[in-house]
Amino acid sequence: MIRIENLKKRFKKLQALDDISAFFNKGQVVSLIGPNGSGKTTLIKSILGMVKPDSGRIYVDGKLIKDDPSYRGRIGYMPQIGRYPDNMKVGHLFRMMKDIRKVPEEELDTDLLVKFNLVSIFEKPMRTLSGGTRQKVSAALAFYFNPVVLVLDEPTAGLDPVSSEILKEKIMQEKKKNKLILITSHILSDLDELTTDVMYLQEGRLIFMKDIGSLRKETGEEKLGKAIARVMRDSKRESLWVDEMLADKRN
């Protein structure tokens, strides 16, 4: 479905992506994991064509993404920080996106719109929304057009526990529909029940990409966080970050 070949991207002194190659298929829920600044968001933005890689190629459904923007019609994207025109009202935003995507009314997925009760704030301008509400708008927009690929960048960050649970349930449902879902998150426990594959990035390099079954078997750990910590320790890589995460949880 999505094939990435030798992707490289450099921002001034920072090598954000260093020769990344990967293949994602339908039905997979891929967790992109790595410390801050490891290149997760850059990778996601490259897939969406928002960041232009220095070299390497990305194919979606066998087609090079540079040539034709229409592939983005099959992707629902939830950004890490949703930025929207300040003066635009929430309802207007949804109407505009509908107008641009040209998806027939009956194919729209208004599930999250209803569950997050966004219709009640349709008349509010975007600039008055809190960070969490904005995040709900982003989530509802990502799922709105029933896309076959979902790209979620830190979906649960900033959401209250109830909304976070609603979103996770929604992701589970979509997973059952045999969609490809890419998630980045720092909250590994959130990913536990969703993930089918783990892609671990560090300083722009792909450290490993494994399916969760073999990861569990190799490490003998059930929990994703511990499993990753084990892999990192065994391969004698710097695993401070995961250790910190685990320490945090114990407290």
Partner 1 sequence: MLKLSRYVLYDILRSKVVIAYTIFLFLVSLSFFQLEENNSKAIMSLLNIVLIVVPLISMIFTTIHYYNSYEFIELMSSQPLSRTRILLSEYAGVALSLLSAFLIGVGVPVLLFAFNSTGIALLFAGSALTLVFISIAFLASVKARDKARGIGSTLLLWFYFSLIYDGLVLLVLFSFSEYPMEKFTLLLSALNPIDLGRIFIMLKMDVSALMGYTGALYKDFFGSGTGILFTLGIMLLWIVLPLLWAVRVFKRKDL
Q: Rule CB under 8 A: which residues touch partner 1?
A: 45, 48-52, 69-73, 75, 77, 79, 83-88, 96-97, 99-101
State the Cα angle at 91 between 42 and 138, rounded to 5°: 20
Nearer Cβ to partner 1 (152/215): 152
How many Cα atoms are found within 13 Å in the side-chain-facing hemisphere of 249?
Answer: 13
Within 115-211, strands assigned E span 149-153, 180-184, 197-202, 205-211
The tokens describing 52, both together, are 């232009």
Q: By C-beta, is 16 or 229 nearer to partner 1? A: 16
CA 218, 238, 43 angle in degrees (round to 5)?
A: 85
Rounded least distance, CB 90 to partner 1, Å:
13
Residues in CB range of 139: below 8 A, 6 or more apart: 78, 112, 116, 152, 155, 167, 170
**Which residue lies nearer to partner 1 by CB, 81 or 172?**
81
The residue written with tokens 């590994």 in the block is: 188
Q: What angle in degrees, to the nearest 10, is found between the helix axes of 224-234 and 212-219?
A: 60
In angstroms, what is the C-alpha Rg of the chain? 18
| Min CB(180)–partner 1 separation in Å | 16
Q: How far is the CB of 135 from partner 1 (least distance, A)?
A: 15
Of the pair 92, 237, the CB lying nearest partner 1 is at: 92
Residue 27 C-beta: closest distance to partner 1, Å: 23
Do 93 and 126 contact (CB within 8 A), yes or no? yes
Q: Which CB atom, from 27 or from 85, has the smaller least distance to partner 1? A: 85
Q: Give min distance, CB of 237 to partner 1, in A.
A: 29
- Residue at 63: amino acid letter: K
Residue 216 is encoded by which pair of tokens? 């569990």
Nearest-approach distance from CB 209 to partner 1, in angstroms: 24
How far apart are alpha carbons 164 and 157 in whole angstroms?
8
Q: How far is the CB of 75 from partner 1 (least distance, A)?
A: 8
Query: Are the C-beta atoms of 114 and 173 separated by less than 8 Å?
Result: no
- CB closer to partner 1, 84 vs 208: 84
Q: Are 22 and 199 in contact (CB under 8 A)?
A: yes
Decide whether 50 or 240 has the Cβ nearer to partner 1: 50
